[in-house]
Amino acid sequence: MSTITQVKRGIAPNIAWLRRQSVRRTLGKFSLYIVLAIAAALFSIPLVWMLSTSLKTLYQQDAWPPVWIPNPLEWRNYPDAFGFLPLGRYTLNTLFITAVTMVGTFISCPLVAYAFARIRFAGREFLFMALIATIMLPQAVRLIPTYLMFDRLGWLNTYLPLIVPSFFGTPFFIFLLRQYFRTFPEDLADAARVDGLGELGILTRIFLPLAGPALAVVAIFSFQSHWNDFFGPLIYLNREQMRTLALGLYYFKAFEGTTNWGQMMAAASTMTIPVLILFALFQRHFIQGVALTGIKG
Amino acid sequence: MASSTLSWPRLNQTQRRNITGYLFITPWLLGLLTFTLVPIAVVFVLGFTRYGVLDTPEWVGLRNYVRIFTDDRYFRISLVNTLYYVAISVPLHVIIGFLLALGLNAKIRGITIYRTLFYVPSIVPQVAGVLLFVWLFQPQIGLFNFLLDLVGVRGPNWLGRPEWAKPAIIIMSLWGVGGGMIIFLAGLQSIPEHLYEAAKIDGANNWNQFWTVTVPMMTPTIFFNLVMGLINSFQVFTTAYVATNGGPMNSTLFYMLYLYTTGFQDFKMGYASALAWILFFLVLVLTVLVFKSSASWVYYESGGEG
């Protein structure tokens, strides 16, 4: 748009048609299209390259100039990658952690969020500020003491350090759900109270059924954060058969070095494709989730 | 003063509300205590000890801190590397994210496809993304150097040269700019249309509208992305750990990498605790400064709710 203004300033006095709104708008749209198309190509190339390389033979990987669409398609990279490291096992491990933390999240977070949204208890505002503060707290500061605590409990090399905290609520998800609950009309809870419904009843029978979109967002964010988590598994899991996909990929690189990119990209795709499928299915919720974070704070 | 028979039920209700409220938030309160408040206190105390996990902590007073500030090369290197990373990547994320969101806010055909293309890289699992970029940055047969070759530039050995490794890590992080972009986009779409119409009536052109309506209305979103960006970038870890493990020549030895090595590979838990406390303090001071500065540049609509 700014280029158009410059053009206008420079030569527009001679070219009357350029000053016409419709022409300017078309030109503006056109240049926007071009800029966006180039940028979009730059952003998309890496992912295309990941999938493309995962289907290449060793010979095609080294080709110069690079081959975009492998021919023939080397599907063997996938079983080979799964043979090199037990990626199937790692996938199951990751799914297990992801599923259990999801259960923990859904037990704890709605309860806390509901109280912050609709129960007027003493000290609520102060505690809510504390909740927000913990969202911004650098994780580094609690890393060592929590590690030592889990060590004392004998929880190293178990999934407990990765799973148990989710049952105590995740501040960010609590915040998200609370913001959503706050959009419900105030008399919704009051009317139910008059009807003799307890707070737990109001939450489970009225609020949760209405909170579908927000719950979907929390489910997606929770899945993502545990599916992708690298640091937690890195410090808590040492035994090989307990590794998650993220850890497995790291060791894939550490062991394999830089010899077989096709297999390595097959492993990377294995971890990425489920997230892409999830995105394709729930695109709306991914985007909504961001709007929900309520930038207004 | 009402009679006791009248005020009792009232008091009861408040009490009951308090009890229910605290019962509901009990999980979080317990979590706050065990996973946040106690650890912060413990890490502070541990910072004054020598502690090798297996033996008992030994009180050494300020010795850890004195060593960190006077006789620790790696502390200085990692701090400088991290400040470099933060100073460059945070502004780039904000600026590029904002510009992309501006472009993607236009009402043109196929805009949702564009939004998707920019957003999807940000949801790619980090470790998978890093492996991919290690491959893209490969000096001889990597795609980036091939593309650079096409325009006549000889690409460097990105991750193998100390002067290129940090920019490479920053480029890697910028691939995920879509996350911040979507937040900017949500912010742009919540600007009420009537503000633009009012500006148009006052004779403002697109450029003026951008500076008098869009930018002021977006300052809360910029502020949000800036603060979260600061806090996260100070803790940059996975990209550098997986791609270069701090090398070459410590050029990607970021603060968290040094902290991790100290605590979890050398098992110097006391020393690592002091490092953690310094990082916490640094981030806290910076966050407070940004919050303080916000009064002069962040514009909040009157009658703020939520």
- Successive 10-residue mean pLDDT values, chain A, 297 residues: 43 56 75 88 94 90 83 88 90 97 97 95 95 92 94 95 96 93 87 87 92 90 94 94 94 76 93 93 77 53
Q: What is the mean pLDDT of residues B133-142?
A: 91
Tell me which chain B residues have a C-beta less than 8 angstroms from the C-beta of A151. Answer: 53
Chain A 6-45, residues with CB within 8 Å of chain B CB atoms: 29, 32-33, 35-36, 39-40, 43-45
Q: Phi and psi at residue B124, in whole multiples of 5°?
A: -65, 130
Range of lowest pLDDT (A104-113, A266-275, B59-68, B198-207): B198-207
Average pLDDT estimate for B21-29: 96
Q: Does A116 contact chain B (CB < 8 Å)? A: yes
> Does the pLDDT at position B250 exceed 90?
yes
Pull the structure tokens for residue B183. Answer: 């937040």
A111 at B interface, C-beta within 8 A: yes
The pair of three-digit structure tokens given for residue B141, joined into one six-digit string: 């047969």
Burial A253-274 (b: 16+ CB within 10 A, else e): beebeeebbbbbbbbbbbbbeb
In the predicted structure, residue B164 carries a pLDDT above the cut 70: yes
Q: How far is A288 from chain B (nearest CA, A)?
A: 9
Looking at residue A191, its pLDDT comes to: 86
Across chain B, mean pLDDT equals 90
pLDDT of residue A57: 87
Q: Where does the pLDDT of residue B6 fall: very low under 50, low under 70, confident under 90, or very high at 90 and above? A: very low
Q: What is the pLDDT of residue B117?
A: 93
Mean pLDDT calculated for residue range B273-295: 94
Identify all chain B residues contacting A255, using CB atoms and an 8 Å cutoff: none
Instruction: List, in sequence order, the alpha helices (H) in B120-237.
Output: 126-136, 143-150, 162-174, 178-189, 193-201, 206-209, 215-233
Interface check A231 vs B, CB under 8 A:
yes
Chain A CB within 8 Å of residue B160 CB:
no
Instruction: State the pLDDT at residue A4.
Output: 43
Q: Are the Cβ atoms of B131 and A275 closer than 8 angstroms? A: no
Task: Tell me the two tokens of residue B99.
Answer: 């510009």
* Residue B50: φ, ψ to 5°: -105, 125
The reported pLDDT for the residue numbered A11 is 46
Contacts of B148 in chain A (CB under 8 A): none
Do residues A159 and A242 make contact, with C-beta atoms less than 8 angstroms apart? yes
pLDDT of residue A257: 60
Q: Residue B25's Cα: distance from chain center in Å?
A: 27
Which helix (H) or strand (E) covers residue B246, if one does? none
CB contact, 8 Å: B286 with chain A?
A: no
Window 184-203 of B: residues touching A by CB (8 A cutoff) are: 186-187
Cβ contact, residue pair A252, B34, below 8 Å: no
Q: Is B273 on the interface with A (CB under 8 A)?
A: yes
**Neighboring chain A residues of B231 at a CB cutoff of 8 Å:** 136, 138
Choose the closest CB to A144 out of B46, B106, B121.
Answer: B46
Contact between A140 and B30 using a beta-carbon 8 Å cutoff:
no
Q: Chain B 92-151, CB below 8 Å of chain A: which residues?
A: 100, 103-104, 106, 108, 114-121, 123-129, 131-136, 138, 141, 143, 146
Class of the CATH-defined domain B73-297:
mainly alpha
> What helix, strand, coil percent values describe chain A, rounded to 5?
75, 0, 25
pTM of the model: 0.89
Q: Which two tokens stand for residue A182?
A: 């706050």
> What percent of chain B is predicted at pLDDT more than 70?
94
Tokens matching residue B249: 């020549």
Comparing B48 with A296, the larger pLDDT belongs to B48
